[in-house]
């Protein structure tokens, strides 16, 4: 049997490619091109158990590697100029120029916009959305040409639409997120077939299913992604999937399972590789410990993590951390400290334009005030929350419940129960604004 081996000089060039991602992309493109040629040749008989002949593909590797490297170098050289031009434009003009000017139809620019959008998810959703929209425009204008195959272009388009879907999910536009992910799936189907690209999209889709309370489907997607990462022996990415599974369990109210999966995930991830993931996972772990009656344990972890979170946390994470502190203080019966923390968290969330989350903090404050018999403060909070409910067009029965709460003259058991019902509705409404409010 004749075997085709890669020339040692070619092997050395591949090993010294500009980056691991670059090398992987080149090999994927070569193999995709070979599959395409095989498909055009039509079916043919071949002996059983004959290994695929990748010799011609690898013999062409050196020249293709040079093409990729030279093309990427040219495109990256133009990035500073393109960035400067974009910064001078308004968002509306930016979209027009990106579509019309071929200078912006640049692979390196598309990659950069996707990465910057991802980085902005935890600090500025408006910016993340703007960057994701621009990435979708730039990648959509890319055409297969020398240096980049059509399958690779489709992988990049899928990545752009994936991050766009994630932005929309975080903005509670679940329908828009679903449409964006469906578009990404279409491009993945026409891509290189890289399992890691597909697994990354599965992770994002699982978060959408989690927010839609499609718990079983979310776990199925995460299990599929974990199988890919296990095959590649990437334990960090497996840990990320386990963290996501913990959050899915938490969404379903399965707090013990949530804590277990989060701890498994934290034991596998590399904090230096993805610090935001590490911090967010620890925050979720402390939250679910608190909600499952283990507030002392959560407080211990908070003390151990506080310095790092304050140093590296995004404004969004820090606001939620202060909110968590209020919950912990309340569970441990420190009402003054709980009130201070919740007031701080509410203001920080309002500054971040996260009105529904701020309303949820207000409801936590109202529960605290009910326990202290502070009826005037409860009525004031209900008055402040009403415009938020109305502006988001939450169900009229939830609005009516808030009005009833505002008009209450005495703190009774009914008030506590009503607050719990409104709070549960608000938690769900942040994910589904059309949800009906149904008091128990």
* pLDDT of the chain, 440 residues: tens digit per residue: 444 444 444 444 444 444 455 555 555 555 555 455 545 544 445 445 455 555 665 555 566 666 667 777 788 888 888 888 888 888 888 889 899 888 889 889 999 999 999 999 877 888 999 999 999 999 999 887 645 678 889 999 999 999 999 999 988 788 999 999 999 999 999 999 999 999 999 999 999 999 888 999 999 999 999 999 999 999 999 999 999 999 999 989 899 999 999 999 999 999 999 999 999 999 999 999 999 999 999 999 999 999 999 999 988 899 999 999 999 999 999 999 999 999 999 899 888 877 777 878 888 888 888 888 887 888 788 777 777 666 554 445 455 555 655 555 454 445 566 666 666 655 555 444 443 333 33
User: How many other β-carbons are positioned within 10 Å of the β-carbon of residue 207?
Assistant: 22
Contact 323, 344 (CB under 8 A): no
Res 409: pLDDT: 40
User: How many other β-carbons are positioned within 10 Å of the β-carbon of residue 177?
Assistant: 24
Q: How many helices (H) and strands (E) does the chain have?
A: 22, 0
DSSP string, 390-411: HHTT--HHHHHHHHHHHH--S-
Beta bridge partners of 145: 148
Residue 189 sits at φ, ψ, to 5 deg, of -65, -25
User: How many other β-carbons are positioned within 10 Å of the β-carbon of residue 322?
Assistant: 20
Tell me the residue length of the chain: 440
- Give 194-269's CATH code, choosing from 1.25.40.10, 3.10.20.740, 3.50.50.60, 1.10.150.120: 1.25.40.10
The three-class DSSP label of residue 11 is helix
The three-class DSSP label of residue 145 is strand
What gap in Å lies between CA 227 and CA 202, rounded to an integer? Answer: 12
Q: What is the pTM of this model?
A: 0.76
Task: Report the candidate in 274, 275, 280 with the shortest Cα–Cα distance to residue 246.
Answer: 280
Res 8: pLDDT: 40
Burial class (CB in 10 A: 0-12, 13-18, 19+), 241: buried
Q: How far is CA 201 from CA 23, 32, 165, 298, in A?
A: 21, 20, 10, 32
Task: Report the candidate in 123, 126, 128 with the shortest Cα–Cα distance to residue 160.
Answer: 128
Where do the domains of the chain lie? 16-30+56-191, 194-269
Token pair belonging to 189: 């189907």
Res 352: pLDDT: 82
The three-class DSSP label of residue 156 is helix
Res 294: pLDDT: 96
Task: Report the candidate in 437, 406, 410 with the shortest Cα–Cα distance to residue 424.
Answer: 437
The three-class DSSP label of residue 88 is coil
Res 94: pLDDT: 87
Res 190: pLDDT: 94
Res 18: pLDDT: 47
Contact 126, 140 (CB under 8 A): no
């Amino acid at each position: 049997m004749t075997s085709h081996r890669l020339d040692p000089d070619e092997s050395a060039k591949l090993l010294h490619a500009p980056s691991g991602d670059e090398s992987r992309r080149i090999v994927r493109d070569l193999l995709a091109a070979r599959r395409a040629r095989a498909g055009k040749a039509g079916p043919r008989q071949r002996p059983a158990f004959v290994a695929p002949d990748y010799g011609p593909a690898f013999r062409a590797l050196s020249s293709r590697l040079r093409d990729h490297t030279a093309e990427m170098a040219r495109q990256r050289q133009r990035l500073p100029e393109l960035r400067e031009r974009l910064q001078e434009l308004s968002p509306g003009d930016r979209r027009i120029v990106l579509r019309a000017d071929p200078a912006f139809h640049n692979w390196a620019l598309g990659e950069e916009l996707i990465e910057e959008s991802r980085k902005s998810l935890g600090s500025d959703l408006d910016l993340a959305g703007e960057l994701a929209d621009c990435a979708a425009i730039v990648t959509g204008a890319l055409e297969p040409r020398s240096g980049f195959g059509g399958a690779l272009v489709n992988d990049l388009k899928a990545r752009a639409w994936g991050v766009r879907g994630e932005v929309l999910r975080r903005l509670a536009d679940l329908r828009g997120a679903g449409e964006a992910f469906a578009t990404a799936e279409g491009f993945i189907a026409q891509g290189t077939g890289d399992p890691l690209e597909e697994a990354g999209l599965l992770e994002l889709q699982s978060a959408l299913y989690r927010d839609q309370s499609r718990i079983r489907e979310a776990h199925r997607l995460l299990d599929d992604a974990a199988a890919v990462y296990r095959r590649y022996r990437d334990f960090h990415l497996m840990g990320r999937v386990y963290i996501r599974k913990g959050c899915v369990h938490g969404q379903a109210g399965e707090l013990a399972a949530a804590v277990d999966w989060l701890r498994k995930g934290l034991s596998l991830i590399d904090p230096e590789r993805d610090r935001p993931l590490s911090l967010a996972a620890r925050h979720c772990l402390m939250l679910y410990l608190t909600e499952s009656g283990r507030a002392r344990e959560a407080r211990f972890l908070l003390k151990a993590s506080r310095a790092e979170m304050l140093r590296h946390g995004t404004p969004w994470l820090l606001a939620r951390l202060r909110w968590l502190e209020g919950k912990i203080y309340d569970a441990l019966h420190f009402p003054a400290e709980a009130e201070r923390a919740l007031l701080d968290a509410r203001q920080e969330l309002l500054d971040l334009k996260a009105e529904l989350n701020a309303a949820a903090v207000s409801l936590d404050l109202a529960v605290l005030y009910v326990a202290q018999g502070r009826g005037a403060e409860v009525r004031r909070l209900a008055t402040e929350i009403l415009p938020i409910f109305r502006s988001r067009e939450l169900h009229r029965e939830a609005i009516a419940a808030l009005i009833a709460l505002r008009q209450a003259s005495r703190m009774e058991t009914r008030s506590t129960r009503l607050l719990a019902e409104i709070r549960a509705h608000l938690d769900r409404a942040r994910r589904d604004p059309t949800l009906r409010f149904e008091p128990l």
